[in-house]
C-alpha cells in the first residue's frame, strides 16, 4: 500500500471514530432525561471505542494485551465521567 493510500485509510478510520463519537454524543444529549437510554448510550459508546481501537490495531498489526487494556480503561473512565455528569 502506498503512503498516500495508507494516509487516506487512516484518515477514514479516524473519521469513522469522530463521527461515531459525535453521533453518540447527540444521542446522550437527547436522552439525558431518560437514565436507562442515556446509560445504554454511554455503555455502547465505550464498547464502540474499545472495538474501534482493537480493530484499528489489528489492521496495523500492533495489537497487544497492553493496548487492549489501555482502551478498556480509557473507555471505563470516559463512561464513568459521562455517567456522573448527569447525576
For the chain, what is the domain count? 1
The predicted structure's pLDDT at residue 1: 54
User: What is the tens place of the pLDDT at every residue in 44-86?
Assistant: 999 999 999 999 999 999 999 999 999 999 999 999 999 899 8
Rounded mean pLDDT, 9-20 = 96
Burial class (CB in 10 A: 0-12, 13-18, 19+), 77: exposed
Q: Measured between alpha carbons, how far is 24 from 51 in angstroms, rounded to an integer? A: 15
Rounded mean pLDDT, 18-37 = 94
Q: For 60, how many CA atoms within 13 A lie in the half-sphere containing its CB?
A: 14
* Structural domain for 46, as ranges: 3-85
Amino acid at each position: 500500500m502506498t503512503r498516500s493510500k495508507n494516509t487516506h485509510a487512516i484518515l477514514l478510520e479516524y473519521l469513522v471514530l469522530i463521527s461515531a463519537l459525535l453521533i453518540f454524543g447527540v444521542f446522550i444529549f437527547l436522552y439525558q432525561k431518560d437514565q436507562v437510554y442515556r446509560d445504554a448510550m454511554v455503555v455502547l459508546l465505550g464498547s464502540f471505542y474499545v472495538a474501534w481501537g482493537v480493530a484499528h490495531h489489528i489492521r496495523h498489526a500492533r495489537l497487544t494485551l497492553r493496548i487492549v487494556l489501555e482502551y478498556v480503561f480509557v473507555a471505563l473512565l470516559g463512561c464513568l465521567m459521562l455517567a456522573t455528569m448527569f447525576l
